[in-house]
Structure 1
Amino acid sequence: MQLRPVTDAAPLVALLERQWMPLVRLAALLVNDADAAPDIVQDCYEAVWRLQPRVEDADHFAAYLRKAVLNRARSRLRRLRTVRRFLAQHRPDDDEPPADRPVLAAERHRELLTRVDLLPARQREVIILRYYCELSEAETAEAIGVSVGTVKSSAHRALATLRRTMKDFSDDH
């Protein structure tokens, strides 16, 4: 991807339009917040638009956008952890959990997404990119910035955890 000003923005606009929904879904899964996902993608698009790159390799550019969304999602999760730590320090221990906390859905699919969200960050990212976004091991490794072997071992550990916890869920219901 070359970062040179362009006179014809049509290829860039077309690519951004094609990638919008896949990137919003990716962001929603990464941060577990469908309302925040469009904002994350929009922030990435705004940054890209300021650069006005020439779109010569659409696949490479789509990978660049995925990486940008992944990084913005990580930043959002870091900010949320900081806020939660602050609130936990200032909330009496005997308070009830907030009423707006999502109730676990009975459907297996929703339970699976909940369990994926509980995985460590790298395992969660690997599962989402490999199995939801259907990226190859190499593409996933490139997006996260790790080796293919790390992707394989993270996926193996995450799938083992999900199988065990989903079996426990099935036994309970």
Structure 2
Amino acid sequence: MKKSLRARLADVTLFAVAILAALFFSQCRKKDDQPNGIDKSYLINKKWSIASATVTPGIDIGQGPITDLLAVMPACFRDNFIVLKENGTGTEDEGGDKCPDADQTRSFNWSMTADGAFSGEMLDNFEGHTSVVKNDQGFTLTAVGKIDGENVIRTVVMAYKAI
């Protein structure tokens, strides 16, 4: 039985939120060296917002597969931003367009390995590997894995920019 368009959009939005949460709620060991990953200090004390978000292979939401997650995210989610602190804490802010039933801000913990890998306890609906690399305008989060126990391995790429 096919899911309704509304249910598939909810799944896509939930997937994007899961990937974001994977970035910010992962717990991992810290390494002292920075061989070829992002320097953690680059991420600290800046406001970061999502510039783009894609998924391959696309997710079928009833009208064919979509690959541009940002295009189907609600506007109230697209203006959110995060601030990461040196001590492993951070804040997500809803921005000017607050989503219904959401607090304006929420706190979270975050960590990463020296090579940019995020690992450890992930959300129940995502199993895979998440990594971060610096790009021209900010950083790119790449997650490869399965969502909601699907047999399909997807690659989600989310670019963040400093605002």
TM-score range normalised by the length of the shorter chain:
under 0.3
Point out the structure with the larger strand share.
2
Q: Which has the higher contact order (CA 8 A, sep 6+)?
A: 2
TM-score, normalised by the number of residues in structure 2? 0.26
Point out the structure with the larger helix share.
1
TM-score, normalised by the number of residues in structure 1? 0.25
